[in-house]
Structure 1
Amino acid sequence: MGRFPQDEFVAVKAILIAWMALSNIAHSQEPSAALKKADAAYRAGQAALAQRDLNAAQADFEQVVKLAPQAEQGHSALGAVLVSRGFVKEGIYELERALAIESTDNTAQMNLAMAYEQIGLSGKAIPLFSRCEAGARLQKSALPSYVLAGYARSLAANHQTGLAVTKMKAALAADSQNAELHDELGSLYAQQKDWTHAQGEFATAIELNPNLAVAHLHLGLAMRARDEKDGMPELMQAAQLAPQDAMIALELGKAFAADGKDTEAIPVFQHLLELEPSSTAASYQLALALQRSNRAQEAIVLLKTVVAAEPKNAEAMTNLGMALCQAQQAKDAVPVLERSIALAPESVTAHQNLAAAYVQLSQFGDAVVELHQALKLAPDAPQLHYNLGLALKMQDDAVGAIPELETAQRLDPSAAEAPYLLGVLYMQTGRYEDAAREMNISLKLRPENGDGWAALGSVYDKLNKLPEATSALREAIRQLPGQPDPHLTLAAVLVKQNQPGEAATERRKAAELMRSNMNRQRAEVATNAGNSALRNNDLEGSITQFQDALGYDANYAEAHLGLAEALDRKGKTAEASAERQKAEAVKTSGAP
């Protein structure tokens, strides 16, 4: 934005005018030796510019300024060359000196306005552009298109978007085939949320230059703003055309994330960090995508970097606290979330996350306090009422919990959690009809809840609705095939229905599952011991532990893998390979 065009140099015009002025001075009186040298330097500078040798031109005009410091034209010419070479601040200094000597130098005004625009000093640029435009109007001419575009950018930066559109249109009237200007006009329309005209300009830019990556980016963003499905391909095209463009990568990654496609967003943000390793924006966006993907430990590392770079970024602190909770590091999360709340006491999310950390630490009273604070800020948030109800339940305060859960259910009837927890509380307080009603509501919303079906079966048993209890418990068994408790409850219900044979079968299944679960627990303990011995390089001890684990449960894949590692270290590669094959067979079979 705001760069001088490569095919036209304002500096050239400035220098020609300056050369003529110095020549006039030289002819009006006997020139001094210094002025003669300045005159020669101007000629050399002019020749260098004709060859587009800005480096030589700069050296020549520096010599002119040194020899004739009071000549405004020398400062003007040197300033223009410096800006053209990218030394904008140095160029501005020379142009300001030129105008201090001669305030009516239109070319110096134009160059200085463009330079101010280039470094974001729109407030200084606009009055100069206005003077240049007035001067051109007096001469019955128009400003060059690139100057008008610079004027438009300055106006836009100064929140005068409507006038900026007018100036950019004027620039396009003089240069209608300029794809970049069409893209910039589209961006101005986008600032006004005039998406129809914005898309039209972006499309024209792409038609004129199909390889203009930024136009594809802008078109894609405009289409997404209008909820049009074809926006993402445009963003991907932009990234393909400019794979090293950090801004395009950031927008593409954010678009993937907004669509719930963190799997696609993560590699884009990782590439962005490769382009800009110190970018906190890239680190933050990647951290959020990792956090949503249950990769909390990776997210924590990045979020700590962001918080260190931006110690007053309350939002980043809130997310860091939540990531620490996700990683079961609630003790570390509490001070982070407390700092976040100190910075942004109105943040509902920060209070909610701090409450979650307290729940994880079994500090339910503190959690209740934070949730009350959050509800003062957002009294109609159903999740907050549910969380408060849950925290109160954890304190065995059913009287306090029930109205909070009822409120959560009223505010969000589509959520299954509140009616389920209400059903549990009603069951615990002996309100079995209410419990059955709420559990049925929850299970209709979320039928894949084996524990819910088991609880409903128990409630129907209490209500002596035995066929309903049998049906609910069989569904619980289907969903929880490894749990013995639903079999035991079903056995008791079947006895009440005078079905002793079927009841005995259910009790046997429960006993088998309890033995199996006990053996699995023993296998886990032995495997952990084997891994510990392996870390200490006690190969014989580890082999014994892994073999004990497999004695308890021959289908425990982790024990097979641990044994394979130990055998490998002993050089028994064939036996190790056999163990790995057994582990793979267990995983393939779907055994628990």
Structure 2
Amino acid sequence: MNSLAAQQPEPAGLERMRGMIHYQRNNFAAANLAFEKAILQDGNDLLATQMRGVTLYRMGQPAAAIPFLERANSPIASVNADGTYVLAVCYLDVHRYDDARRIFAQQYKISADSAASYLFMGRMLLRRDHPAESEQMARKALQIEPGLPLAHLLLGQLALSRSNAAAAVAEFEAERTINPMNGEVYERLGDAYLRALRYEDAQQSLNCALLLEPNSTGPYILLGQVLLKRDDALTALNYLLRAERMDSSNHLIHLLLGQAFRALGRKEDATREYKMAESIQNAGENQK
């Protein structure tokens, strides 16, 4: 490639290719320089333009990335959806929420002013760790369409993140009314009841979750916690052993198994599980 670069004039597309190689190697500073040269050589090279925007985003410069992504978005959006997504995320990061909502709506083929569009923004903002703005979007979605599925679910998640169990229960109960066949709703509601110390309600809700989500470990783990709180270690053990068979690398499951074994007087089994939980947790921290 260097020998080609020495040719005068330099072959068309060479700097873009160099930039792609650097980008794939996560060498973003070099990729950015190569894409900059490619654009100087050919101002109509929209792929180089888009990739420079994506590269700047990966370098933590969303505001600088936006003009390049905007320029390339419309002509080649159908060819490279990644650039469109990155443009929307850049808008989020610089708090241009209306623009982000418009881009996401285009991607998902929904009206930008619909309740679904606002709810989608709420979920994306929560993922980007903007809980206050996420709540605003979810409430706007419900204002437009009060019966919108999953909006109360998001509000309940936000309430749980603030450790407001009572508010979470109210939101999840509202979601259950709208969306009674969604197993996640019962799992989240059971979690909220557990945190609100409503153990009987939690057990009932989590049993409903199990019927709808038999292959999910979440309800089994939560039922184990609830039953330990209700001093039923033997039944808790059965649920937790089922969860362990489904996900043996979950440190919380082993921690709860240790508690169940200890409550049943099985000290050696309890010690083994506590050690396993500690080992898994330490291994996870070492990988960070």
Q: TM-score, normalised by structure 2?
A: 0.62
1:329 aligns with one of 155, 159, 164: 164
Letter in 1 for 2:98: L
- How far apart in 1 are the matches of 2:68 and 2:82? 9
- Whole-Å separation in 1 of the counterparts to 2:154 and 2:147: 13
SS at 1:385 equivalent? helix
Corresponding residue SS for 2:176: helix
> Equivalent residue for 1:19?
none
1:252-310 deviations in Å (ceiling 9; x for gaps): 699469xxxx8x67326x32415769564553344223323554333222211112212
Whether 1:408 aligns to 2:243 is yes
- Shift of residue 238, structure 1, vs aligned partner: 6.9
Match of 2:269 in 1: 434
Q: What residue identity is the alignment partner of 1:266?
A: L
| Residue 280 of structure 2 corresponds to residue 445 of structure 1 | yes
Of the candidates 90, 93, 98, which is equivalent to residue 267 of structure 1?
Answer: 93
Assess, with a 3 A threshold, how the Cα gap between structure 1 residues 253 and 244 changes in structure 2: closer, same or farther.
closer
Q: Among 205, 210, 214, which residue is 1:379 paired with?
A: 214
Q: Distance in 2 between matches of 1:278 and 1:338?
A: 27
User: Which is greater in Rg?
Assistant: 1
Q: Does 1:355 align with 2:190?
A: yes
Letter of the 1:319 partner, please give it.
L
Do residues 240 (structure 1) and 66 (structure 2) align?
no
Let me know the Cα RMSD of the aligned residues. 3.8
Aligned length: 216
1:302 aligned to 2:137? yes
Higher relative contact order at CA 8 Å, sep ≥6: structure 1 or structure 2? 2
Report the CA distance shift for 1:253/1:241 in structure 2 as closer, same or farther (over 3 A). closer
Give the share of equivalent positions with the same residue, in percent.
Answer: 25
Q: Select which of 328, 338, 343 maps to 2:178.
A: 343
Instruction: Summarize the Cα distance change of 1:425–1:295 in structure 2 as closer, same or farther, 3 Å threshold.
Output: farther
Q: Is the 8 Å Cα contact of residues 239 and 252 (structure 1) preserved in structure 2?
A: no
- For 2:93 and 2:198, the matched residues in 1 are separated by 39
> Could you tell me how far apart the structure 2 residues matched to 1:253 and 1:389 are?
44
3-state SS of paired residue (1:446): helix
Runs of 5+ consecutive residues of structure 1 not aligned to the other structure: 1-206, 221-234, 450-592
Indicate if the aligned counterparts of 1:265 and 1:289 stay in contact, CA closer than 8 A.
Answer: no
| Cα distance in structure 1, aligned partners of 2:128 and 2:47 | 34
Q: Distance in 2 between matches of 1:365 and 1:265?
A: 45
Q: State the AA in 1 paired with 2:96.
A: H
Secondary structure of 2:235's aligned partner: helix
Residue aligning to 1:388:
223
- Name the amino acid aligned to 1:267: D
From the superposition, tell whether residues 274 and 414 of structure 1 become closer, same or farther in structure 2 (CA, over 3 Å). same
How far apart are 1:382 and its partner, in Å?
Answer: 1.3
Aligned AA for 1:359? L
Check whether the contact 2:217–2:243 (CA below 8 A) recurs between aligned residues. Answer: yes
Deviation at 1:211, TM superposition (A): 4.4
Identify unmatched segments of 5+ residues in structure 2: 1-41, 55-64, 103-111
Q: Which moved more, 1:421-430 or 1:286-295?
A: 286-295
Q: What's the TM-score once normalised by structure 1's chain length?
A: 0.32
Distance 1:292 1:212, change over 3 A: closer
Q: Is the 8 A contact 1:325 1:356 kept in 2?
A: no
Secondary structure in structure 1 of the residue aligned to 2:96: helix
Give the direction of change, closer, same or farther, for the CA distance of 1:253–1:355 in structure 2 (3 Å limit).
Answer: farther
CA distance in structure 1 between the partners assigned to 2:141 and 2:220 by the alignment: 32
Decide whether aligned partners of structure 1 residues 400 and 238 sit closer, same or farther in structure 2, where only a CA change above 3 A counts: farther
1:306 to 1:253, Cα distance in 2 relative to 1, 3 A? farther
**Aligned amino acid, residue 395 of structure 1:** R
Q: What is the distance in 1 between the residues matched to 2:229 and 2:242?
A: 18
CA distance change for structure 1 residues 337 and 267 in 2, over 3 Å: closer, same or farther?
same
